[in-house]
Amino acid sequence: MRVTFELTRRNDIDISLPSEPVVNVRRKNKDCAMTSKTQQSSVRPYPELKGNEPTVPQFGILDKLHGTWVNWKGGPKGLHTTPMPSPGTSSETVFGVFHFKSQQYREQLTFSKVNAPVRNRAGSNEQFNGPVKYETAIIDNNNDLQHFENGMYLWLGDNTMPWEENGQYQNPRTMFSRPSTAATVDEDGGVPVIGPGEQGPQFVPPHSISRSGVIPHGTTIHLTGNVTHFDQNQKPKPPERPEIAKLWEQPYLSISPTMGIDPERDLIPGSLKKPDWTTKPRDEQIDYLGQPEAHQGVNSARAYFLNIFNYNKYGAKFPYTVQPNLLLSEFNEGLNFKSYDLIELDSQHDTGVQGATVNNVMIERYCRVVRMRHRMWLERIELENGKEIDQLQYEQIVDFEFMFGASGETTQWPHIQVNTLRRLEDIPDEDQYEAIKLPEEDEPVAKPKARVHCMNHKAK
């Protein structure tokens, strides 16, 4: 069989399809050939699992978390912003009636490595997770318990392909290939579906880190993401300190776009000065020129959110009630950073498998938690005395949905937490706060021992 295309356009192409499985393509001044010969794939199998390796886990960047992290006297405190349904309201109430609370807090955050790999079997592939348990307790300035939570971070492996023997996090390995053998085919009844020596596609992890957590209000979270390393010895040289956010950058504000506030219009670009409109009473508010009269005065977006801009309780006030992460970047000014790692996790992704936020019945109906974003900076800093210590900073943004917006759409309400912590053992005794204890806890330790929890995941 021969098919010839005669084209009058420039760069004519003659395509011949002979009986043998070869296609010749001829262009002016250039000949090339396409063949049915199998090409070598760039996705080569992971190393084959031998015996019961590995016997110890790989923690990747999570290895740096192990220990207890706290606030300290003379240092910054954490801050949260929390919008809540106002007493007497319901899901049919227009969004302008809400209760807002913001306050400083201090925290005790403990990470404990679990020194046994957790094995996931997926047929042609096997994955060995490195688990790190976490527990946090948060109290306010009156030493009243505000929040506690526990969960687990997992190091899932170096998410690269082709697999490299000397990858950054490949000792011990986390991903293995597992072809069928005569023994597995016989034991598992593989015939006639599969025979010895067969193997399916290799799974390449899209994320290297996951976090699962249980929040006692009634929400369970699952976030996934990756880590980026910054070192002052790199070329090109990275920013000398972490770039937290620009001033009034929308994704990090306690006011979402669904609320009707526009940072470019309603805030002063490049300035921490409070806008003049925040000094006027509710009935004199005007969103912007051309706004319908029905959306002015007490019905304007500005009127609804005066309490966020004018809030001044529990150590929280403008501009931090509007952009909490300013506390992180302001504290970092003047610090000498040697290196830092940024972990970014999210319950939502543009494509692929998603994370999750799962709520109990009341939370789901009246104040849904629909998304959580988490950024954590693990920083190595040099103090004025020349000593190098670790510092942990984080920002997490939890999106609530409750009540309707004025346009009929659902309003999102960002609940934000930020904090700067250091290892307990790096803080002088005179600068340490009293340990935070939950009712059932023993005295916390500065650096917990790594515990081994064998899960009997040996090969059959």
- pLDDT digit string, tens, across residues 57-90: 999 999 999 999 999 999 999 999 999 999 998 8
Kind and range of the H or E run holding 180: none
Mean pLDDT along residues 259-284: 92
CA distance 260 to 287: 9
Q: Which one is predicted more confidently, 10 or 260? A: 260
Dihedral of the alpha carbons of 353, 355, 359, 365, in degrees to the nearest 10: -60
pLDDT number for residue 23: 41
Which range among 142-151, 165-174, 416-425 shows the weakest confidence by mean pLDDT? 165-174
CA distance 223 to 153: 9
CB 405 within 8 A of CB 299: no
**What domains can you pick out in the chain, each with its CATH number?**
1-39 (no CATH), 60-244+325-431 (2.40.128.20)
CB 96 within 8 A of CB 406: yes
User: Which residue intervals of 143-286 are DSSP H helices?
Assistant: 182-187, 263-266
Is the pLDDT at 170 greater than 80? The verdict is no
**pLDDT tens digit sequence for 2-49:** 444 444 444 444 444 444 444 444 444 444 455 667 666 666 778 899
Mean pLDDT along residues 246-260: 91
Q: Which two tokens stand for residue 285?
A: 């508010």
pLDDT number for residue 291: 59
**Measured over all CA atoms, what is the biggest interatomic distance in the chain, rounded to whole angstroms?**
89
Is the pLDDT at 423 greater than 50? The verdict is yes
Q: What percent of the chain has pLDDT over 70?
A: 82
pTM: 0.85
